[in-house]
Structures are given as structure tokens and as C-alpha cells.
Structure 1
């Protein structure tokens, strides 16, 4: 009901804006940039392919740098409708080198509020890099994005995921230059049918700076994966030069790339940072990303009908999260990490399997959690993966790293997957119904009912 109400409100705002707005037809990025800073218009850009270098030349980058104009286009106006169906902007990543922006600068920025964008494709070409930043940031309030597609490239090093660190100098074996996709920092942002194809080390969709009431529906995030065996076969390059030394220890206590695993080459499909309040995902999918949905905020996370495919870890949730009718596989890594309390989870296990090493189906810690794991249409995995109750995620979520034990109290858990259960010594006062074997129970006051 709240979603329907929100959509009606958005629709009324956009209808009112359209009735009052001037209808403007444009045929160049220069004209689009001009009206991006104005308000109260309906702007339609003629369908076509637009190389950004036709609007911003390499020679102009020094001038823009001196003026601190670090965005290619800044949509700073309010109450606009941008019709961009059939529009594709080609972004040569070499422009970023020429511009030399500060770290974490955005290339396209929506600073204004209550704008609507539909149909735009942004395609990065080339492998030149810049110091962090995203292709598109939505910073204003109440903006609506529909059918936006972004193809991301241009990071260093690419091809290893986070094996050699994530960016902090103190934790990094190889210094990264990230390039991410779409960042939301503005409250009341809504995204529908948005797609992001990431061939860069960086996030796909992510939310920061205490944004509230952010809604994703029918959105798709995709990375690509590579085996650690393939990485170890390199005879030159940054990993070889670093002697394949990692920033996270493996299960033998060594800091080295370990064979047998699969790594995503980007960061997370959908990610939150900080205390993001009231964020909702419906019918969204993450494929071949590091985490599918890493949502470790504690202020109202809801997922409905979401799906993960071939991620390093599928779902990672904190306090009060609601996960309903979602699914995912444990093909390359665990299906879920629960580190919060008062979660309510209903999750279906896709039985897809691979020859890659995976050490757990899920790990569960926290207090007063309600979790149901189901099999997909009665189809169960043939290779057993333990469900770890009273255990934490591995360090940094890295599959090669060992698990630790974590306080787990008042869990109500139903296992319909046929997978075995291991209960650690820090679990107590739990109720477990399972159709899988209990391999070990070190907990106290654990009620177990075989289904």
C-alpha cells in the first residue's frame, strides 16, 4: 500500500510538472547541458549515439579542471522531465585522465530535485582510470530514474576483484583506482528498470550519506567472474609482481591467493553505507558481483522477490532486515551472512553448483532472528554445505578466510534445504526445525525438531 501511495504521489508530481512545463526539443549534448541547469521544463533529446568528445574535447579538460568543473554534465535544475529514450552517450575514459579530478568525483551528477529521467544509456569505453568516483550520482531529493543503463569500465587493477585490497592504503597490497556505477546520496530517490553492467573494480548500485526512502524496482546489476587458478597462472602483471600476496589471510593463515575459488572482478551489486533508513528492493537481480545485496545498515531494509546468480556472497544483512520470497545460489560462495538482530528472512536456495570451493551455505549470528531456508521446487543441492549457527562471516567476507564464532540468541530457524547444520558454542536458546542432519551442537538450550 505504501509503495502504491508513493507511486501515485510521484505520478501526480510529474503530471503537474508536465502541465506547467515548456516542451523543449534538443539535438546535442551541449543543449542538454544547457537545460540541465534550468527548471520546470520537459526536455527531449533526439535519439542517437552521442560521443561525449563531440561536446567536451580533450583540450577543454584543463580549463574545466582549473574551473573545478569536474562533472561532464550537472543536472542542477529542479522539476524537469528528461525524455532520453534511444539516447546513448559514449564516454571515453581517457577524458578522466585529461581532467584529473579529485578522488571520488562523479562524471554525471543530478544535484537538482524532483526531476524525472527516462531511457538514457551511458557507455564507458577504454581502460583509462581516474582516482575513484562514479559514472552517475543522484544527490538531489525526489528524483526518479527509469530505464537507465550504464556500462562501466576503467579501473586499476582490473581482473582480481578485492584480492589485493579495497582502496585504503594501510590495507592494500596493490593500490586501486576504482570506477563505480551509480551512487545515490539523495533521499526519496526511485529507480525503475535500471541496469548496470560493470567491467570495472567498483560498486554497481550503492547508497551513502544517510539517504532515506530509496526505492529500487526491477533493477539489474552484473559483473564478471574469474577463477583464482586463472589468476595464479599469470606470469606477469600486478598480481605476479606482488607475489600473489593478498590483504586477507586464507584458511591456512597465509596471505596468498589460493587455488580453487571464484572471484568477482567488481564490487557489490547493491550496497549501503552508513545508517540508510527505509530502503526497499523489489524484483532486483545481481549476477556475478562480489556481494549481491550487502545491506548492513540497521534502519529498515526490505527485499522482495530479489535474486542472486553466481555471486561471491549473495545476501549480507544487519538489524531489522526483512527478506521475503528471495532466492539465490551458493555456486561460488555463501548464500547469506546474518550479522544483525530481529531479522525476518524467507530465502529459497537455488541448487546450482560448481567445482569451486565453498565452505558454508549461510552463517547466522545475532538475537531474535526468524529465518526460513527453502529448497527450489523441492530440488536440493547434491553437495552438502553446512548451515553455521553461532558463527560470523569470514574476515571481509572473503571466501578463502576462516569463520569465527558469534553470539546467537533466540533464533527461530526452519531448514527445508536438506543441508546439514553446525551449531557453535556461542548459540543459546534457539529453536530449530530441520530436514537436514545436525552435525554438531555445542550450543546451550537448543531445541531441535527433525522434520
Structure 2
């Protein structure tokens, strides 16, 4: 056989082999028009299922994971479908528990691999609080799972209207979170998703997940002033005589030392927009990328600081958050990000053990805010920080950039030695930079004034260590 014939035969074999493989991988479209029909395919591999557009009621379930998707290599097209989930399900004691050792209730769990779910609108309705604080709409624990253009709206937490002032999971607080991505999840993608938080809880959070991409997503919550709370003549806060769960600083809000809620403050009624927990039962949360996302009116906007692996946040915008816009930690990289400081610092690197973060921050209009004069705080070692703004008037003159401070969010260890060492800071704004005791080897360029904190300021700073 000559060489030319051999080449032709090889190409011929490869062509039909690829064509056969392509045919094998094609999935026949299955169209269903009821929820019961749809559920028949949730454990079947290699299916392409289209649910008819319309409203679907979820008011009954067999297990604490109301809908479970366990299939592999499957695609679920829910564009135009709307799921209404009765919050009463989250308090049912007769539902079968799952065998993964986690007792959380959720509306939809995806534990299969290579699964795509696209286009669903889902919301909880009713004001019945769940049995626990771990309630959520989505729980994703599979590999190579994609949620695309999914929209959520949460209700059903208790107490509602007081945010985090009465505890973060203990006591009688019952939350309704949005999307959890947890171990053993790997390579999960949230693309173009929207989460409207109208309940206490996190919008999107990770626990032990690896290589997660969150892109083109939007999160929004609601804010409330303490003046509005104090004007109540009945309700949860009124019954407690407007005493919060503890005194001093609570996640961005100041209350009296004895816990009395004070006027002039502001809270978020939910928790964090996009948040990484450090791990889940020893399995670390690593390699998260958050890209082109927007978070508004949450407690913290984008919180990568609790994960120590080094995460990337690119082209994101955070507005009107109460504790901080961005919580930055060890090895984190923030590229072309933006935030205001109306109600809390635009960003913070709060942890003294955080090293080598890189932050590029554009300060948005921070005028007409409340209860905040801290533009940014920087602690730790080896960070490179650039702060800029498009208009100098966006930043009130009363605001400052502070290094080596307890003030603001994120200092939990009262025995820590506060410091900011070997920091490179390029302050392209006219905001004042104040260095407190513990600031060493600062490489600084600043348009704004630079000064060392005076003795009385350092005393006040040190006294804040017991008020976090």
C-alpha cells in the first residue's frame, strides 16, 4: 500500500469515527409539561430535558432536599419556568433526611456531574421560618455543574427586618440562603445568575469547593436604618426593648456597650453577597474566580478574605454595603474593582496574618452616606494596593485610609498584634492616609495628606480590640 492511499484511509477512518462519536453524544430532546414528568429524568444520565414554560408549585416533598438532581452529563432547560416554593416545607419534621451527614434543607440539590441547569426563576413564598439557620434554595455538590441565567428570590427568615443584630445562626435566628456550593463540588460555574435577597442569609457562598467560577452575576439586598427600627411600636425588636444580641460592633453596625440599639446607624437585612468560607469539614475552599459581578445593599459585598488560598476578583462592582465592600485576604488578587464607602469601608485587608494581596480599587460616589468615615483599612504583610477615583468629590473629606487598625470589619483575635508591614500603597485620591502603631516599611505614594496617628488615636485604636 503506497503512502498516499494510507493517508486517505486514515482520514476516512478518523472522519467516520468522529461522526459516530458525535452521534453518540447527541441527546434527544425530551419535552415535558408537568413537574412530575420533569422529576422522572432527574436521575437519568445523558438526557436533554425541556420543561414547558409556566408556573410550578412546590408545596410538597419527600426529603429535606425537595428536588434532587443526581444525573450525569445531562442538560435541563428551564427557560420560562417559574418555581414557587412554600416556606412551610423548610419546617416539616417528617421529611426524609439525606445520607451525607448534613441536615440542611434546600429546594434544589445538584449532586450529579457534568450537569447544566439553565433559565429557571425560583422563589420562596410565605413567612414560615424553617427549623434551622441552614435553609437555602440551591445546594450544589457535584463536579462540572453549571447554573446559567438562573434567578432567585428569597423569603422566609426569622426574625426579618433586623439583619444580623440578633445573632448569626444561634438563638432563634432562621435564615434563607440563596446558593451554596460545597464539598465535594469542583469546577462549578454560576453564569449570569441573579439573587434577590429578601431574607436573612448569604446570597452565594462556598464551603470546601474547588475551582469555582462566578461570572456576570448580580446580588441585591435591602438596607434599613436603626431609626426605623426604634420607631416600631410592636414586633421582635420592640419586644426586646431594642436590645441587640450583643454590644459594641456588630458586622458594620455600632450599638451601645450594653447592646442597646442606637439611632443614626444602618444595617443590611441580609448577610454577604458572595462569600468564601475557609473550608467544609477540613476540605479547603480554593481557587475561586469572581468576574464581572455586581453586589448591592448587602452586609459584605464580596468576601474572599476567609479563604486563604488566594482568590481572584475581576471587574466587579459593589455598592451600598454596610460592613465592607470587599473583604480581602491572603494572596487575593482584585483587578479593576469598584466600590463606594457610604456605609462601610470600600475594602479592607483586615487580617494580620494575610500576606501578598494585590488590590486595584476605584472608589465610587461615597457622598450622602451614614455612620462611616473609613475609606479603607490595611493590615498584614506584603500587599500591593492602588486606590483611585474618577472624581475627587466622590470621597468626603472626613474619610481616611488607615493602616494597622482594629477599626472596621474583620479582627476577631483580641490577642493579635496589629500591624501593616512591607506594604506598597499608591493612593491616587486626595483622601488622608493615617498610619497607626505597627506600620513599618511602608512604600507610599499619595496625593492626599499622610500622617502618623497621634497618641490619643493610638489609644482609641488599641481599645477597639475588645469591641469587634
Bucket of the pairwise TM-score, normalised by the shorter protein = 0.7 to 0.9
For 1:250-283, what per-residue CA distance to the aligned partner results, in whole angstroms no more than 9, with x for missing partners? 5663422122121100010000101321100110
> After the TM superposition, which of the residue ranges 427-436 and 370-379 deviates more from structure 2?
370-379
For 1:156-175, what per-residue CA distance to the aligned partner results, in whole angstroms no more than 9, with x for missing partners? 00111111211134xxxxx2
Q: Which residue of 1 aligns with 2:174?
A: 177
Q: Give the alignment's TM-score, normalised by structure 2.
A: 0.82
Structure 1 residue 27: Cα displacement? 0.7
Aligned partner of 1:44 among 50, 54, 79: 50
Whether 1:336 aligns to 2:347 is yes
Whether 1:104 aligns to 2:104 is yes
Measured in 2, the distance between the counterparts of 1:126 and 1:298 equals: 38
Aligned partner of 2:262 among 252, 258, 262: 258
Q: Which residue of 1 aligns with 2:319?
A: 309
Measured in 2, the distance between the counterparts of 1:90 and 1:17 equals: 37
Measured in 2, the distance between the counterparts of 1:303 and 1:320 equals: 12
Higher CA-based Rg: 2
Contact 2:427 2:446 in 1 (8 A): yes
Structure 1 residue 126: Cα displacement? 1.2
Matches within 5 A, 1:273-284: 273-274=277-278, 275-284=284-293
Measured in 2, the distance between the counterparts of 1:264 and 1:361 equals: 19
Contact 1:423 1:442 in 2 (8 A): no
For 1:78-101, what per-residue CA distance to the aligned partner results, in whole angstroms no more than 9, with x for missing partners? 110111111111112123234566
**CA 1:395 to 1:416, structure 2 compared with 1: closer, same or farther past 3 Å?**
closer
Contact 1:190 1:214 in 2 (8 A): yes
Q: Which residue of 1 aligns with 2:433?
A: 421
> After the TM superposition, which of the residue ranges 227-236 and 176-185 deviates more from structure 2?
227-236
Q: Which residue of 2 aligns with 1:79?
A: 73
2:444 is paired with a residue of what secondary structure?
Answer: strand
Contact 2:88 2:126 in 1 (8 A): yes
Q: Give the alignment's TM-score, normalised by structure 1.
A: 0.85
Structure 1 residue 406: Cα displacement? 1.7
Measured in 1, the distance between the counterparts of 2:213 and 2:195 equals: 16
| Stretches of structure 1 lacking an aligned partner (at least 5 in a row) | 1-14, 170-174, 444-451
Whether 1:243 aligns to 2:241 is yes
Structure 1 runs, 4 residues or longer, greater than 4 Å off: 15-18, 99-103, 395-398
1:94 is paired with a residue of what secondary structure?
Answer: helix
1:229 is paired with a residue of what secondary structure?
Answer: helix
Measured in 1, the distance between the counterparts of 2:33 and 2:309 equals: 44
For 1:398-443, what per-residue CA distance to the aligned partner results, in whole angstroms no more than 9, with x for missing partners? 9xxx9x9721110000111211111110111111111112243469
**CA 1:392 to 1:414, structure 2 compared with 1: closer, same or farther past 3 Å?**
same
Measured in 1, the distance between the counterparts of 2:408 and 2:298 equals: 18
Whether 1:410 aligns to 2:422 is yes
Q: Which residue of 1 aligns with 2:389?
A: 375
Contact 1:17 1:80 in 2 (8 A): no
Measured in 1, the distance between the counterparts of 2:422 and 2:285 equals: 26
2:238 is paired with a residue of what secondary structure?
Answer: helix
Q: Which residue of 2 aligns with 1:120?
A: 120
Whether 1:320 aligns to 2:328 is no
Aligned partner of 1:95 among 66, 89, 94: 89
Measured in 1, the distance between the counterparts of 2:92 and 2:236 equals: 24
**CA 1:17 to 1:150, structure 2 compared with 1: closer, same or farther past 3 Å?**
farther
Whether 1:358 aligns to 2:355 is no
How many residues are treated as equivalent by the alignment? 407
RMSD: 2.3
2:374 is paired with a residue of what secondary structure?
Answer: coil
Measured in 2, the distance between the counterparts of 1:218 and 1:17 equals: 33
